[in-house]
Amino acid sequence: MISKNPGCTLRFAEEEDIGLILRFIRELAEYEKLPHEVVADENILHESLFGERSTAEVIIAELEGCPVGFALFFHNFSTFLGKPGIYLEDIFIKPEHRGNGISKLIFAFLAKLAKERDCGRIEWSVLNWNKPMIGFSKNIGAEPMDEWTTFRISGKELSDLVNYENSGLSA
């Protein structure tokens, strides 16, 4: 057990939590109105979280032994700081358990972990319509990085870019 706050315990996920993690991901996708974008399955998650080249970590939040939320994060790197950082990809608390400090406990845990791992910062993205999370983020002292726009390439466009590189053409 990692940390406690009135009945709440945080722990690192274990291999047997894969099904639970996938359920939380699907619940998060429903909340974000993006269930059609979830293609992860238990095998993909197992490889990414516990495989030979694991790329992410998960914290499980439990209230009196019952899982009520999760946070998935990984390390990134800041060339300006010359240090790693923690990127919080997802945090999700079941709706009936929101507002009682679980998210703040998770962020405090990540802050402690960042310091222990000599990370320079923690970063995350929030959907523009998610006013509760925007408010929470500002409340804990986070600053929106409005001068940056997040871009993403995936699917066909990602394949097209690979094909461009393989075509022998130069930029």
Residue type, 44: I
| Residue 35 belongs to some domain of the structure | yes
CATH number (domain holding residue 110): 3.40.630.30
Half-sphere exposure of 95 (CA within 13 A, CB side): 5
| Residue 169 belongs to some domain of the structure | no
Dist CA 159 CA 171 (whole Å): 17
pLDDT of residue 164: 77
pLDDT of residue 168: 59
* Mean pLDDT estimate for the chain: 92
| Residue 167 belongs to some domain of the structure | no
Give pLDDT tens digits for 67-96.
999 999 999 999 999 999 999 999 999 999
Cβ contact 102:69 at 8 Å: yes
| Residue 156 belongs to some domain of the structure | no
Host domain of residue 101: 3-145
Number of folded domains that form the chain: 1
pLDDT at 6 over 70: no
The lowest-confidence range among 16-20, 118-122, 151-155 is: 151-155
| Residue 140 belongs to some domain of the structure | yes
| Residue 56 belongs to some domain of the structure | yes
| Residue 32 belongs to some domain of the structure | yes
* pTM of the complete model: 0.89
| Residue 115 belongs to some domain of the structure | yes
Cβ contact 8:105 at 8 Å: yes
pLDDT of residue 1: 47
